[in-house]
Amino acid sequence: MLANSSDKTAELKSIKAAVASAEVPWSGRLALLGLNCIPMLLTISTVLAILLPYGTLPMRFGVGLGFLYLAPALAARLILCITPISEGRIPVGAKSFFTWWTLFQLQVVFCRLPALEEILRLIPGLYSQWLRLWGARIGRFTYWAPGTLITDRSFLCIGDDVVFGAGVRLNPHVLAAAKAGPMELLLATVKIGDRVAVGGYSLLTAGTEISSDQATRAFLISPPFSLWQGGKRVRQGTLSRF
């Protein structure tokens, strides 16, 4: 699922439909509704940290920005340590689904306001280090072109000397219809080898793997659990059949 505002609205509708089709009990639906408040609470806390008169304005501004960038990332790491997620097919309404939804809500502010991440990218190496706080594995000398969008920052494994073209989207989760039954969440780390160049405006979805020393074309759309080698897609296992 993509990260701009219109795509976010469509995704929320998909989540609602998936929850209904999976017959999630009302307690679960109320839990999802409560978790949806995380972005608002994060925003309010940041504003209060800046506006409350407990110190000088530069100090308050620094505390507010520190909270905005660090608190969600560290919370995500803590959640994954306490309740690890088994990647793959996750039924809507399962415990792992709620864990993922919590992680996703911690990131919504950055999905809706991509300028917050573009600011980090102005300082070489800072953005990659910030992603590592979320639990991502990022190699050295990674270049993030303007417009790169990520929806699940904890589920990335990027090698050394990787270049992302403008507007690339890394989307380690997808909602899909199961072969028999309600919709399910497909969640898996996007893995990119060393010395890879990802063409601009590409979409890499759940479980995509790109082998080392590859250069993909622009506007590439990678289906879930795809393996790319030798400039072409290689099907692997049963999870790639969509």
Please report how the helices 57-82 and 38-51 are oriented relative to each other, as an axis angle in degrees rounded to 10: 150
Angstrom distance (rounded) from CA 189 to CA 207 = 5
Q: Please give the model's pTM, rounded to 2 decimal places.
A: 0.87
Q: Which residues contact 160 (CB under 8 A, 6 or more apart)?
A: 139, 140, 141, 142, 194, 195
Residue 18: its pLDDT value, please? 61
- Of 199, 201, 204, 220, nearest to 170 by C-alpha is 204
Could you tell me where the DSSP H helices lie in 52-173? Answer: 57-82, 95-112, 115-121, 126-133
Q: What is the mean pLDDT of each run of 10 residues along the chain (242 residues)?
A: 52 60 75 94 97 94 97 98 94 93 97 96 96 98 96 97 98 84 89 97 97 96 93 66 40
Q: What are the structure tokens assigned to 242, written together?
A: 């969509």
Residue 25: its pLDDT value, please? 77
Give the start-to-end residue ranges of the domains of the chain. Answer: 5-234
